[in-house]
Structure 1
Amino acid sequence: MATVSLEQIRKVYPNGHVGVEEASFAIKDGELLVLVGPSGCGKTTLLRMIAGLESISSGTLRIDGHVVNDVAPKDRDVAMVFQNYALYPHMTVAENLGFGLQLRGKPKDEIARRVHDAARLLELEHRLDARPAALSGGQRQRVALGRALVREPKVFLLDEPLSNLDAKLRLNMRVELARLHRQLGTTTIYVTHDQVEAMTLGERIVVLDGGRIQQIDTPMNLYLRPANLFVAGFLGSPAMNLLRGKLHRENGWQLILPNAAFFPLGALPAQGTAVETWNGREIVLGVRPEDLQPIEPHAAALEAQVEVIEPVGNEVFLNLRFGDQRIVSRVSPQQIPASSGSLHLGFHSDRLHFFDAESGARIA
């Protein structure tokens, strides 16, 4: 196990494109840290720089306190699992698992021991004599993981390892990965564009966009206190409702929307002090779908038109129109309204989020 430290890591390509801009964070010994963001945000580039597969333009990378900027990938004691399984089709599972150790000149008895231990851990013991073509997608992914496990590296690097699996297999493998990490305790850096994977696997999450780190925090802190509009809109499914308008205080707070509709905000007990200086200025209001709930009509209620109802089993998504804005409410199946008409909604004022309309930063 090891610590990994990045200090102002930067990647600039020959054409001038900046892939990663001054990334700085530290991964604790035994931590599972997730890099998440949309395609092209720099997360895989960052992982490949840690692995030594991409050169570092500037900054310092340390593994266990040692600077490894110019250390060859094979000498960094890291193991990487790629998006594609990259298994040797002519080799059995056992041969695929042990091939890397064979190349390193490890004794046969040690290779056999490590292969057996990895196969037992990944429940592949009964498939050791099979070739990749005879395996399911989930089993192939486990072989790819096992090939990294037998190395017994200081750091695991996983680059979207579940993206080729169907939804059910992804769920099963996600649980297996979490179980493996608890058992092994190896420092792990996991790249994904899937926010559900990020939220369920990561002890901490690094959110990236456009090569820049937007926020680093625990999954729930990211969800409950997003640092900016990008994080607020990226994490959460359905996404946070974001309404742009002018904040106005008159018999309680209101958000005046561009079409002259207003969103009644009430007394704002928790954020009143923080937003006081924003009276009369443009902001972006954020409210999570689960915090927008149907209520009995009254003066402070928000009235919206029901457009589309999406029942997904244990919950229902209500797609609504409020003025020119589209908003979503997440409710229980017992709260399904009529398929058309208006609906009155209420919310807890201490669960509202406020952002600077210009910079996108959270108003705290």
Structure 2
Amino acid sequence: MATVSLEQVRKVYPNGHVGVDAASFDIADGELLVLVGPSGCGKTTLLRMIAGLESISSGTLRIDGRVVNEVAPKDRDIAMVFQNYALYPHMTVAENLGFGLQLRGMPKAEIARRVSEAAQLLELAQRLDAKPAALSGGQRQRVALGRALVREPKVFLLDEPLSNLDARLRLTMRVEIARLHRRLGTTTIYVTHDQVEAMTLGERIVVLDGGRVQQIDTPMRLYEKPANLFVAGFVGSPAMNLLRGTLQRQAGWQLVMPHAVLPLGDLPTQAAALAPWQDRAIVLGVRPEHLQPATPQASVFEAQLEVIEPVGNEVFLNLRFGEQAIVSRVPPQQLPASCSSLPMGLDTQRLHFFDADSGLRIG
């Protein structure tokens, strides 16, 4: 196992495009860290730089305290699992698992021991003689993981390993990867564009956008205290409702939008932080679960109910307030018909406020 440290790591391509800009963070020994962000945000480029498959334009990369900027991939003691399984179709599962060790000249007895242990761990012991074509998608993914596992590396690098699987199998493999990491305790860096995958797997998450690190935190801290508008809108499903307007105070705080006014009440715990933003443009963030139907007496505002989406254990209400589309997440319940007016209430202790210009969190 090992620590990984990045100090102002940057990747600039010959055409001038900045793939990764000044990435700095440390990965603890045995930690499972997730890199997440939309396509093109730089997460795979960053992973490939750690692997040695992409050169580093500037900055310093250390693995277990050793600077590895110029060290060849084979000498970094890492193992990578790619998005496509990259299995040799003419080899059996056992041969695929042990091929890398064979290339390194490892004794046959040691190869057999490691392959057997990995196969038992990944429940592949009964499929060692099978070719990849005879395996299911989940089994192929486990072979790809096992091929990295037998190396007994200091660091595992996983590049969107579940993206080729169907939704049900992704859930199963996600649990298997979490269980495997808990059992092995190997330092692991996991890349995904799926924020649900990131939230359920990562001990910490690095959120990237446009090649820059937006926030590094635990899953729940990212959800509860997003540092900026990008993180607020990216983390969470359905996404946070973001309403732009001018913050005013007239017998309580209110958000004045082009076609509606949203009353916010006294906001006693946030008033001091919001005072400098009075009469300025801000963005108000509300998670769907903190926006709930209310009785007319307790109503904060009236919204138009447009579409009801029942998904079993919860219901998504697609609403319109003025010109703003918003979403509420509620438990299954009796609801009025679509196209009717619905009184809604806000959990004012769970509101998020952002500077409209910089996008940074207020308070």
1:126-165 equivalences in 2 (<5 Å): 126-165=126-165
- What CA deviation, in whole Å up to 9, does each residue of 1:103-128 have, x standing for no partner? 00000010000000000110000000
2:38 counterpart residue number = 38
The answer to whether the Cα contact below 8 Å between 2:132 and 2:140 also exists between their aligned partners in 1 is: yes
CA shift at 1:270, angstroms?
1.9
Provide structure 1 residue ranges, at least 5 long, that are not aligned to the other structure.
none
Q: Secondary structure at the match of 2:143?
A: helix
Q: Partner residue of 2:4?
A: 4
Aligned in 2, Cα 1:277/1:335: closer, same or farther, shift over 3 Å?
farther
Q: After alignment, is 38-47 or 267-276 more displaced?
A: 267-276
Provide the residue aligned with 1:220 in structure 2.
220
Q: Closer, same or farther in 2 for the Cα pair 1:358/1:26, shift >3 Å?
A: same
1:3, 1:187 within 8 Å by CA — same for their partners in 2?
Answer: yes
Contact 1:306 1:319 in 2 (8 A): yes
User: Does structure 1 conserve the Cα–Cα contact (< 8 Å) formed by 2:156 and 2:186?
Assistant: yes
The answer to whether the 8 Å contact 2:302/2:321 transfers is: yes
Amino acid at match of 2:272: T
TM alignment of 1:147-296, pairs within 5 A:
147-259=147-259, 261-296=260-295
Aligned to 2:353: 354
| Residue matched to 1:52 | 52
Post-superposition offset of 1:334: 1.8
Give the secondary-structure state (helix, strand or coil) at the position aligned to 1:87: coil
Give the 5 Å matches for 1:90-109: 90-109=90-109
Query: Hey, what's the Cα distance between the residues in 1 that align with 2:230 and 2:76?
Result: 34
Question: Is 1:78 aligned to 2:78, yes or no?
Answer: yes
1:165/1:299 Cα in 2 relative to 1: closer, same or farther (>3 Å)? closer
Shift of 1:339: 2.5
**Structure 2 match to 1:297:** 296
Tell me, in whole angstroms, the C-alpha distance in 1 between the residues paired with 2:264 and 2:288.
Answer: 16
Superposed CA deviations along residues 112-145 of structure 1, whole A, max 9, x for unmatched, are 0000000011000000000000000000000000
Return the alpha-carbon distance in structure 1 between the equivalents of residues 322 and 102 of structure 2.
Answer: 66
| Cα deviation, residue 298, structure 1 | 3.0
Looking at structure 1, the residues matched to 275 and 299 of structure 2 have their Cα atoms a distance apart, in angstroms, of: 20
Amino-acid identity (%): 82
Counterpart amino acid of residue 48 in structure 1: R
Secondary structure of 1:274's aligned partner: helix
Task: Look up the match of 1:308.
Answer: 307
Q: Summarize deviations over 1:216-249 as a string: whole Å, max 9, x none.
A: 0000000000000000000111100000000000
Q: How far apart are the structure 1 equivalents of 2:212 and 2:309?
A: 35
The 3-state SS of whatever aligns with 2:338 is coil
Cα shift at 1:271: 1.0
Give, in whole Å, the separation in 1 of the partners of 2:30 and 2:116: 23
Distance in structure 1 (CA, Å) of the matches to 2:99 and 2:335: 56
TM normalised by structure 2 equals 0.99
Q: After superposition, what is the alpha-carbon deviation per residue over 1:255-308, rounded to whole angstroms, capped at 9, x for unaligned?
A: 00012x111101112211100111100100000000000010137512100001
Distance in structure 1 (CA, Å) of the matches to 2:276 and 2:91: 67
Q: Which amino acid aligns with 2:285?
A: G
Measure, in 2, the Cα distance between the counterparts of 1:189 and 1:113: 26
Match of 1:341 in 2: 340
Output the amino acid matched with 1:22: A
Distance 1:5 1:269 in 2: 42
Distance (Å, rounded) in 2 between the aligned partners of 1:299 and 1:263: 14
Letter of the structure 2 residue corresponding to residue 283 of structure 1:
I
Structure 1 residue 326 corresponds to structure 2 residue 325: yes
Distance in structure 1 (CA, Å) of the matches to 2:335 and 2:115: 53
Q: Could you report, residue by residue, the CA deviation over 1:23-80 in whole angstroms, capped at 9, with x for unpaired residues?
A: 0000000000000000000000000000000000000000000000000000000000
How far apart, in 2, do the equivalents of 1:299 and 1:144 lie? 56
The alpha-carbon deviation at position 338 of structure 1 amounts to: 2.4
Q: Structure 1 residues 265-274 or 315-324, which shifts more?
A: 265-274
C-alpha distance in 2 between matches for 1:335 and 1:103:
64
Q: Counterpart in 1 of 2:19?
A: 19
Q: 2:296 aligns to what SS in structure 1?
A: coil
Give the Cα–Cα distance (whole angstroms) in 2 for the partners of residues 299 and 256 of structure 1. Answer: 20
**Number of residue-to-residue matches in the alignment:** 363
**Shift of the alpha carbon at 1:336?**
3.4
Give, in angstroms, the shift of residue 253 of structure 1: 0.4
Q: Secondary structure at the match of 1:232?
A: helix
Counterpart AA for 2:241? N
Q: 1:276 to 1:300 in 2, by over 3 A?
A: farther
How far residue 320 of structure 1 moved from its aligned partner, in angstroms, is 0.3
Aligned residue runs from structure 1 range 112-131, under 5 A: 112-131=112-131
User: Which residue type is aligned with residue 4 of structure 2?
Assistant: V
- Residue type of the partner of 1:350? Q
Per-residue deviation, 1:335: 4.8
